Amino acid sequence: MRMKRTAYPYILWIGIFIVIPLFLILYFAFTAGNSQDFSSFEISLSNFRRFFTPIYLKVLGRSVNLAFISTIICLALGYPMAYIISKERHKKRNIMILMFVIPMWMNFLLRTYAWLTLLGRNGFINFIITKIGLKPLDLIFNDKAVLLGMVYNFLPFMVLPIYSILVKIDKNLIEAAEDLGANRFEIFTKVIFPLSIPGVITGITMVFIPAMSTFIISSLLGGNKYNLIGNLIEQQFRWTGDWHFGSSMSIILMVFILITMAITSKFDKEKEGGGGGLW
Amino acid sequence: MKKIKSIVLFVLVAVIASMLAGCGESKPSINVFNWGDYIDEGVLKEFEKEYGVKVNYSMYATNEDLYVKLKQGGESFDVIFPSDYMIERMVREGMLAKLDKDNIPNLKNIDKSFFGLDYDPDDEYSVPYMWGTVGIIYNKTMVDDVVDSWDILWEEKYKDQIIMLNSQRDTIAVALLKLGYSMNTRNIDELEEAKAELIKQRPLVWAYQGDEVKDTMVGGEAAFAVVWSGDAVAMIRDNPDLEYVIPKEGTNLWFDDMVIPANAKNKEDAEKFIDFMCRPDIAAKNADYIGYSTPIPEAIDLLPEDMKNSKVAYPSEKEIENTEIFRDPMDIVVEYDRIWTEVLSGE
């Protein structure tokens, strides 16, 4: 198919802001030398050799693990939510979705900071707990707090795509299923859920990717005690100044995300006959 | 094809127009690049009014941030505020311009003890802006022991009550000091020992924080934190239960200086700015606002009583005799990074 003329600005945009930076990262990843001096670069795999040692692999493992758990929680919470909202009447539905979106108008960093005061030792939640005579809980600076931060911040990215697919399902299909004698459970498992899979796939991708690469949440709510891969990358760029190692970790992160997306899109293709979802 | 041409033309016109808009002002200007929250911004307005020079003010978070921005080029700055070891590195790499001291008569206001320091032995490049120490801040209502040593941060009974700095260099320095080594050591064995100490300490640490530590300590959420003296002044102002101690093993004495990058576009006005910042009334305004310690005695006299007499901001000579200034780590920075990753990535 011939590209339309109107597509040129977008191609220019993609070229400048996506393709060129990606190649720069690739170039940095496979070279070594003083990051600020191009003439000192030489082709090298040393960054990757350094990464594939137990210490960094452990961090990668922890990141994958936390991102995976938070994606599962988001799906478990988000799907029923999206389903319930989509069943509401038009007006109520829009208000409910608006409620989901309004917090996102505030800066992500501020919302995460807010959790610091909620979860802190003398924070709001512990204040309530001690008021009713219970012992204060250790809520912050652990993996649970990081998970909470991820789920809280990324849940809308799960709910919105699933919701927008669910509201578009043709009511006639459900009626037809009823006519053919399906009960409500069968309607859900055989009609609604299979049709909503593209939304689920998009939701999973949109939660998993930011959860995998976050460094702010683990830094603020995890108290920097549990490095994630995002923290290691940030450290290389901001403090150590080794852009080569930082870039190669970014490449490894990207490869991981691509693999997960490839796996999830497989499910998608079976239903859609290819070309659906993000891929 | 015509459409592409018109798009390219449009982009070009837009770029040129924005460049021209920048050139339109006839008023001279300087680009000042400082740490976040490290000046009374009213001072900038006063400078603009008195000298008719516009100040473009922007901020960075760490010395390394500053270094990278400067190295990459793109923007040029006229006055920057690096710390001691970073000045040493920048001088070594030829990134700074020599100052013309005739243009900075207010240099005479600065206490003599701030000259001839190792990072700029002949005082050719730098003018001290603020200085301070690193120490332990603790909450008197939560601690019964005498706090006078770094060892207390390794005390089992204060598990989950200790906040360490989220900074490779400073936290490794604490471990080195505890062991009695120089914090500028280049000996790998000593650094490895420091690493072992930090790994041992990690289960006791509640969090490794940056600027958030102020909220944590003021809110009474933890008993101990390692902090910079200027932040300690600000924290004690908000919570009088807090107390700041310089441990007996010694600590880091640091200086943030004003310097002019070699590629500065307006060196003349930059020197005027540095001179202005050394005026006692201006230095006092800044010191009062940010809580850090000024090197200008006359400015100290202008401060409010509680700050003037603050042992935290202005310790006696005896209290700081056991201190060391950071030197440029050069190639050893790779080891710091490795150690830090190993400390924070363990189980």
A168/chain B closest Cα distance in angstroms:
38
Q: Which residues in chain A are contacts of B71 at CB distance < 8 A?
A: 36
HSE value, Cβ hemisphere, 13 Å, CA-based, for B114: 23
Least Cα distance to B289 among B7, B44, B125, B16 occurs for B44
- Residue range B288-313: mean pLDDT, rounded: 91
Closest CB to B342 among A55, A117, A231: A55
β-strand partners of B242: B139
Q: Which residues in chain B are contacts of A9 at CB distance < 8 A?
A: 7
| DSSP three-state, residue B324 | strand
Whether A155 shows a pLDDT value over 70: the answer reads yes
- The model's confidence at residue B69, banded by pLDDT at 50, 70 and 90, is confident
Helix axis angle, A143-166 to A193-213, nearest 10°? 150
Please answer yes or no on whether B345 and A220 come within 8 Å at the CB atom: no
Least Cα distance to A47 among A245, A188, A247, A238 occurs for A245
Please answer yes or no on whether A120 and B221 come within 8 Å at the CB atom: yes
The radius of gyration of chain B's CA atoms, rounded to the nearest angstrom, is 22
A126/chain B closest Cα distance in angstroms:
11
Domain boundaries, chain A: 6-29+44-272
Closest CB to A239 among B62, B221, B342: B62
- Residue of A240, A244, A249 to mutate, interface with B, max B Cβ within 10 Å: A240
Please answer yes or no on whether B207 and A227 come within 8 Å at the CB atom: no
- Distance from C-alpha of B86 to C-alpha of B65, rounded to nearest angstrom: 11
Average pLDDT score, chain B? 90
The radius of gyration of chain A's CA atoms, rounded to the nearest angstrom, is 23
- In this prediction, residue B183 carries a pLDDT of 92
Whether B57 shows a pLDDT value over 90: the answer reads yes
Q: Which residues of B touch A (CB under 8 A)?
A: 3-4, 7, 61-62, 64-65, 67-68, 71-72, 160, 166-168, 202, 205-209, 212, 215-216, 219-222, 333-334, 336-337, 340-342, 344-345, 347
The residue of chain B with its CA nearest to that of A234 is B65
- Distance from C-alpha of B168 to C-alpha of B151, rounded to nearest angstrom: 19
Whether B73 shows a pLDDT value over 90: the answer reads no
Q: How many CB atoms lie within 10 A of CB B325?
A: 18
A100/chain B closest Cα distance in angstroms:
28
- In this prediction, residue B2 carries a pLDDT of 53
- Distance from C-alpha of B63 to C-alpha of B171, rounded to nearest angstrom: 16
Whether B14 shows a pLDDT value over 80: the answer reads no
Q: Give percent of chain B above pLDDT 90.
A: 73
- Residue range A91-118: mean pLDDT, rounded: 91
B331/chain A closest Cα distance in angstroms:
11
Please answer yes or no on whether B208 and A121 come within 8 Å at the CB atom: no
- In this prediction, residue A274 carries a pLDDT of 42
Q: Which positions ≥6 away from B84 have C-beta within 8 Å?
A: B117, B118, B119, B254, B255, B257, B325, B326, B327
Give residue-wise pLDDT tens across range B240-272: 999 999 999 999 999 999 999 999 999 999 999
Give residue-wise pLDDT tens across range A32-80: 887 667 777 888 899 999 999 998 999 999 999 999 999 999 999 999 9
In chain B, the N- to C-terminal Cα span, in Å, equals 60
Q: How many CB atoms lie within 10 A of CB B106?
A: 17
Whether B346 shows a pLDDT value over 90: the answer reads no
- In this prediction, residue A275 carries a pLDDT of 42
A258/chain B closest Cα distance in angstroms:
25
User: Which helix (H) or strand (E) element contains residue B4?
Assistant: helix B2-23
Least Cα distance to B242 among B310, B302, B290, B301 occurs for B310
Across B113-194, the runs of DSSP E, i.e. the strands, are 127-139, 162-165
ipTM score of complex: 0.82
Least Cα distance to B244 among B133, B130, B129 occurs for B133
Cβ(B271)–Cβ(B104) below 8 Å: yes
User: Which helix (H) or strand (E) element contains residue B306?
Assistant: helix B305-308
Closest CB to A232 among B209, B219, B341: B341
- In this prediction, residue A278 carries a pLDDT of 43
- In this prediction, residue A276 carries a pLDDT of 42
- Distance from C-alpha of B98 to C-alpha of B104, rounded to nearest angstrom: 12
- Distance from C-alpha of B134 to C-alpha of B150, rounded to nearest angstrom: 11
Average pLDDT score, chain A? 89
Please answer yes or no on whether B68 and A36 come within 8 Å at the CB atom: yes
Question: Looking at residue B261, what DSSP letter applies?
Answer: B
Assigned CATH class of A6-29+44-272? mainly alpha
The residue of chain B with its CA nearest to that of A119 is B221
Cβ(B119)–Cβ(B84) below 8 Å: yes
Cβ(B219)–Cβ(B276) below 8 Å: no
Buried b (16+ CB within 10 A) or exposed e, A18-28: eeeeeeebeeb
- The model's confidence at residue A15, banded by pLDDT at 50, 70 and 90, is very high
Domains (range + CATH), chain B: 2-129+256-308 (3.40.190.10), 132-253+320-345 (3.40.190.10)
- The model's confidence at residue B171, banded by pLDDT at 50, 70 and 90, is very high
Give the pair of three-digit tokens for residue B137.
Answer: 């801040």
The DSSP result for B31-81, as a single string, is EEEEETT-S-THHHHHHHHHH--EEEEEEESSHHHHHHHHHH-SS--SEE-
